[in-house]
Structure 1
């Protein structure tokens, strides 16, 4: 959940830089790169924390395939790999885990058709690809990503501090919610970007006017989900935060007061954010990468991702057996809002620019 905070220095393997990966034509100063670890780009909470899903994946890959996983958690997220591709430098990674439709749209809006960052998937090499729920598929023309989990952006509120939560977007502008909301910067945070897209879906071209009203009502913007949720909301700084409808799963596991972890869908809905996995076009360990992707869609991995990453599985329900805590506390909003790849490509950059004009640094 940034949840996607991009930092360097992650457990389970060193974070590689550009050294030893100077070109994209196969030349490298590391002759053993084809025999090295599987280099997986992801976000910090996947690889770090008390019980991260990444640690289970690393141990499972070691047990089942006798191979090593090396986590790469870049400060600038997918932008780092877009820049490498533009420079003609080797991306230095095999797989990206946690890719969203918005990030895929940004890749395609930035790179020309001749510069491939991700490979089209050969689904015939995957035993479990047909388990994925049809509604979650990325539906982009080159079939480069497979869903691995999904979640819903909603508001989480403190029922001790708030007698009743906001029920609509307009409610958030009321005086009783002045200086109450914690949100994330959509340029640096995946949940923040999802919340921005939700307002685009709700208000269309008038979304910037809504954000001006939020600003006037005292919304506090944080760079990442961790800063907004862990560092501010859990400390009691404010009683409302943009987060996930699965919040109570993690809160119950941490034995927190669940009165401070109530879910508030806006307009009876939540914004669906699906995370996927993709192979870099010039991956060194392609065979192992396909084995890793198939592992992610296995029943065991889907259960672990749901429990540890606190997101809904991407596969059909009959293929995964969840811990009792998840169905008890995870909430799926009555209605779903989402913008797909076709909605985002060619538009997202513009929306982010318009938003940035309202919130200059």
Structure 2
């Protein structure tokens, strides 16, 4: 395993003049009373204001593929707002969302078969996806490099960029953490080793790393922190201490809310959800083991064979705009991927950031991640 990666708060890209600017902003955006917190995230005491003008040089239908909850989750999906706002800026453009049941695998399969993917942009990539795509397709290109065509790319935080070929562009990030009920857990675990103590026996729900993104991220967090030579021994001890492994985040979180265990692996934005639903925040406390959280940035990419490259670039640049970044954070309940999106008062109060975010790079995961997950599945998950 190569070196471990620790993300530095407030790391930002150097602003440079980028070639091929698309004019996707289509307007001017301003923010008032902006400050920078000790987490490196810019905040504001007033709402962001935007003056949106239309841009009539682009036209046509843009087909944007993504996972279904990005579009249709009740009250917390950015898809509708992004479509409406982009179409306001480009009156001759129609955004068409596509949410195939198998998500990204649907397009990987079509590319393998040599069939037209019939989409222009994919929203919702992570580094694991890219590695599997590159291993499966080899020299076939599913996505094309885009960074040099985006005028807002300079605002993407360096520590979140996960594609060395600059195809996938981060647009938000979440931090994997523990969520616990402080009525049942009076003394929260502070380290990974704490979880092995008798007081936490049978009290943690995790997700299957083979079937859930949160489960895989938590597994990778243990590899990152404990090392590839020690993580399986650690998981064996966790299993002996009665952890519950469920198939998906939804299954695990539902079990947690039903009181099957007082701790669950989830996201550090959990209190944002809980506050919106008027839930008891004492049952939605966030815990960072070893003062860490595993960063899991999401990215977007242009399909290599799109017939609308300029329109795709304009849409991706729009998602990196100040206004869209703030709205995506609010509606997708994740942190912005850029250095210029102000956090809302709600996020400042309820969303938690770890003191020491960690993650693995593409290079560190390539050739390793499948082996780590498969070894875990054989030894720990079994038939779960």
Q: TM-score range by the shorter chain?
A: 0.7 to 0.9
Are 1:329 and 2:346 matched, yes or no?
A: no
| 1:199 paired residue among 210, 216, 222 | 222
SS in 1 for 2:230: helix
Distance 1:218 1:290 in 2: 49
The 5-angstrom pairing of residues 154-303 of structure 1 reads 154-203=177-226, 204-229=228-253, 231-303=254-326
Report the secondary structure of 1:205's partner residue.
Answer: coil
SS in 1 for 2:110: helix
Q: From the superposition, tell whether residues 352 and 72 of structure 1 become closer, same or farther in structure 2 (CA, over 3 Å).
A: farther
Q: Which residue of 1 aligns with 2:120?
A: 94
What is the alpha-carbon distance in structure 2 between the residues aligned to residue 122 and residue 175 of structure 1? 50
Once the 2 structures are TM-superposed, how far is the Cα of residue 77 of structure 1 from its aligned partner?
3.6
Question: By how many angstroms is 1:122 displaced?
Answer: 5.1
Partner of 1:115: 140
Q: Distance in 1 between matches of 2:307 and 2:193?
A: 50
Partner of 1:339: 360
Task: Quote the offset at 1:196 in angstroms.
Answer: 1.0
Please give the alpha-carbon distance, in whole angstroms, between the structure 2 residues aligned to 1:210 and 1:93.
43
Q: Is the 8 A contact 2:147 2:169 kept in 1?
A: no
User: C-alpha displacement at 1:44, in angstroms?
Assistant: 2.8
> Contact (CA 8 Å) 1:108, 1:345: kept in 2 or not?
no
Q: What are structure 1's unaligned runs of at least 5 residues?
A: 1-34
Q: How large is the Cα RMSD of the aligned pairs?
A: 1.8
Gap change, CA 1:68 and 1:224, over 3 Å in 2 = farther
Task: Tell me the equivalent position of 1:82.
Answer: 108
Q: In structure 2, do the counterparts of structure 1 residues 258 and 132 end up closer, same or farther at CA, with 3 Å as the change threshold?
A: same
1:133 aligns with 2:157: yes
Taking a change above 3 Å as real, the CA distance of residues 213 and 91 of structure 1, as seen in their structure-2 partners, is: farther
- 2:43 maps to what in 1? none
Q: Provide the rounded CA distance (Å) in 2 between the counterparts of 1:178 and 1:284.
A: 56
- Conserved? CA contact 1:106–1:348, under 8 Å: no
Partner of 1:46: 70
Cα distance change of structure 1 residues 169 and 76 upon mapping to structure 2, 3 Å threshold: farther
Unaligned runs of 5+ in 2: 1-58
Q: Which residue of 1 aligns with 2:30?
A: none
- 8 Å CA contact 2:127–2:163 kept in 1: the answer is no
Alpha-carbon distance between aligned partners in 2 of 1:321 and 1:76, rounded to the nearest angstrom: 34
Count of equivalent residues:
321
User: What's the CA shift string for 1:95-153, capped at 9, x where partnerless?
Assistant: 111211121112122221x2111111152x3221111112222251x211111011211
Report the TM-score, using the length of structure 2 for normalisation: 0.79
Which structure shows the higher strand fraction?
Answer: 2
What TM-score do you get using the length of structure 1 for normalisation?
0.84
Secondary structure in structure 1 of the residue aligned to 2:176? strand
Runs of 4+ in structure 1 deviating by more than 6 angstroms, as ranges, are none
